[in-house]
Amino acid sequence: MPTGGDRVAEVSTEASPIESAATPGTSAPPAPRASAGDRQTADVLGTWIAFVEAELDLPVTDVAVLLDLARDVAHTVARPAAPVTCFLVGLAAGRALAGGAEPGAAVSDAATRVAALLPGAADRAGS
């Protein structure tokens, strides 16, 4: 059975935005090693997220909300907890969407609820 990437390759003979941005000689997306504020990192991240959203037929996501949550979870709980937490936020947002919530609000609300659970959240909310 073809994977999502195989299906994209079958549908289009042109390089995807990610393949176009790939490291020369590879078909994988580049893995820039740059500061979070670096323009190249932001461009690659934006392109990748748009590519994944299109492939999975998802609405546009407020990535900043998820990145902020992932950073806070990684720094206050444990690094491996960050991607798992974002996955769980996505599941909660999906459930909210099934109940008729607006996509942006579903992700934001779930992320806000989880952020309130983080150690020191009460201190940050009061400042």
Q: Write out the DSSP string of 28-55.
A: SPP-----TT-HHHHHHHHHHHHHHHHH
Residue 107 lies in a domain: yes
Instruction: Tell me the average pLDDT across 53-65.
Output: 93
Residue 2 lies in a domain: no
Q: What confidence category does residue 23 fall into, taking pLDDT thresholds of 50, 70 and 90?
A: very low
Alpha-carbon distance 78 to 85, whole Å? 11
Q: Which residue, among 34, 61, 35, 65, has the nearest Cα to 48 in the 3D structure?
A: 61
| Cα distances (angstroms) measured from residue 1 to each of 5, 6, 7 | 11, 9, 10
Residue 1 lies in a domain: no
Q: What are phi and psi of 124, to 5 degrees?
A: -70, -35
54 with 66, same domain: the answer is no
73 with 108, same domain: the answer is yes
67 with 115, same domain: the answer is yes
pTM for the model stands at 0.67
84 with 95, same domain: the answer is yes
Residue 20 lies in a domain: yes
15 with 65, same domain: the answer is no
Residue 125 lies in a domain: no
Instruction: Tell me the average pLDDT across 39-46.
Output: 86
24: pLDDT strictly greater than 50:
no
Structurally, the chain folds into a number of domains equal to: 2
**Residue 89 lies in domain:** 60-119
